[in-house]
Amino acid sequence: MKYNFDKQIDRTNTSSVKYDLRELIFGQEDVLPMWVADMDFETPDFIRDAVKTRADHAIYGYTFRGESYYQSIIDWFNARYKWKIEKDSIVFSPGIVPAVNMAVLALTNPGDRIIVQPPVYFPFFTAVSNHNRELVHNQLINQDGNYSMDFELLEQQAKDARMLILCNPHNPVGRAWRRDELEKLAAICLRNNLLVISDEIHADLVLPGYKHTPFASVHPDLKASTLTMHAASKTFNLAGLATSAIIIEEETLRNQFKQFVAFLHVDMGNLFGAVATETAFNEGAEWLTEMLDYVHENIVFFADSLAEKLPRLKVYKPEATYMVWLDFSLFGLNDEELKDKIIKEAGLGLNAGIDFGPGGSQFMRINLACPRQTVELAVSKIYQAFSNL
Ligand SMILES: Cc1ncc(COP(=O)(O)O)c(C=O)c1O
């Protein structure tokens, strides 16, 4: 390996949400933080170098994103997903969560029904309910740890809904939706004129043996109804740079969204985010392969160790993302008891499954984008807290 993912980096006192807000989030400072979705790996050296070079120019005034920025995104999609997009289809947003909120406000009306597929990334819920739209739960089906979409229920719900927010790949259950599943979904959406937000922030984090399919690429008619949301932020550990790209291929839909972004004056963007994104997509393929191999080994080590030591804990190995979904239901604890045990006895800062909505009760989500030593520590902490139950 060219890159060293074993390196431990002290992130305390860097205004890190994951490390420096532990007391606020978990009520105590001494939990091992394995929650929010950023990585404990160094942002790759070639990205830091590019940012430093730009930082060395003494003026950080207003900037725009040039041709080479757009080309890097076009090339990345083409090389990785064989998805050909045009420069004009790319719209800036400071983040995916802001973009989901802006899309809801720009493209739907108060009272409109918007479908989400829990257990799912929880900011989707507030992006609907905070704006007085009606949240419709199309809960995923969990069959012994294998998650699938409930197409039958969706067919009914789609009849009087305006929009679907898809998580592709899915956080937290780790599914990299297959092409045939997305085609089935597309057919329902097209038949019922549903707008689709496809949040593809985890697209590049598909693990060995699996594949990412952009939802908008599975049927030509989806161009007029799909907003694909992507960023280099999860992939290359750049979340603090607040830069993402929203792909909207059809002009009318794109202009509606673009006007809303301009109306809020959030289209200027972040100078360093643009430099980092372009460098990441131009130079990052090798680093990404190594990082995913390392994370994959973390996941295998974590799952195998716990399967042996604590077989009552069901560890769902993800197909994508560095998040692992943990089913504690066989321990017979309610959500409050489980949370308490994880924080106070195991000394871990994880995301409670219940926060991801229906289907999340008695689960926890753990972030394994960290050095192996941290994963080993997490295994022993979980074992110590739960082996006596
Ligand atoms: C599915 C999903 N969407 C969006 C985000 C966050 O996006 P942003 O930081 O660009 O708002 C996350 C972060 O965990 C995520 O998991």
Q: How many CB atoms lie within 10 A of CB 20?
A: 15
- What's the CATH fold of domain 17-44+286-386? Aspartate Aminotransferase, domain 1 (3.90.1150)
Buried b / exposed e along 354-386 (16+ C-beta atoms within 10 A): bbbbebbbbbbbbbbbbbeebbebbbebbbebb
Q: Which atom of ligand 1 is nearest to the CA of 244?
A: 10
**What does the pLDDT look like over 271-289, one tens digit per residue?**
999 999 999 999 999 999 9
Q: For residue 159, is pLDDT > 90? A: yes
Nearest to 85 by CA among 233, 195, 228: 228
Is pLDDT of 223 > 90?
Answer: yes
Residue closest to 93 by CA, chosen among 234, 222, 260: 260
Q: How far apart are CA 232 and CA 242, in angstroms?
A: 10
Q: Is this prediction's pTM over 0.95?
A: yes
Q: Using 50, 70 and 90 to split pLDDT, how confident is the model at 29?
A: very high
Give 304's Cβ-side CA count (13 Å radius): 6
- Quick check: 361 and 46 in contact, CB under 8 A? no
Assess whether pLDDT exceeds 90 at residue 231: yes
pLDDT-derived band at 305 (thresholds 50, 70, 90) equals very high
| pLDDT for res 241 | 97
Mean pLDDT of the 28-48 span: 97
Structural domain spans, the chain? 17-44+286-386, 58-283
pLDDT at position 1: 86
User: How far is Cα 302 from Cα 324, in angstroms, rounded to an integer?
Assistant: 9
Does residue 119 have a cis bond before it (omega within 30 degrees)?
A: yes
Q: Which residues line ligand 1 (CB under 6 A)?
A: 37, 95-97, 121, 167, 171, 199, 201, 231, 233, 239, 244
pLDDT of residue 344: 98
CB 381 within 8 Å of CB 52: no
**Tokens 């090389």 label which residue?**
79
Q: What's the pLDDT band for 184 if we cut at 50, 70, 90?
A: very high
Residue 19 is predicted with a pLDDT of 97
Question: What DSSP element (H or E) covers 247?
Answer: strand 244-247
Q: What is the CATH number of domain 58-283?
A: 3.40.640.10
Please indicate whether the domains covering 17-44+286-386 and 58-283 agree at the CATH topology level.
no
Show the tokens assigned to 249. Answer: 């291929």
pLDDT reading at 187 higher than 90: yes
Question: By CB neighbour count within 10 A (0-12 exposed, 13-18 middle, 19+ buried), where does 29 fall?
Answer: exposed
Among 171, 243, 324, residue to substitute to test ligand 1 (most atoms within 8 Å of Cβ): 171
pLDDT at residue number 389: 87
3-state secondary structure of 186: helix
Average pLDDT, the chain: 97
Note if the bond before 169 is cis, omega within 30 degrees. yes
Q: From the CA of 232, how far away is ligand 1's center (Å)? A: 11
Q: State the closest ligand 1 atom to the C-alpha of 99, by its place in the atom list counted from 1.
A: 11
Ligand 1 geometric centre to CA of 57 (Å): 31
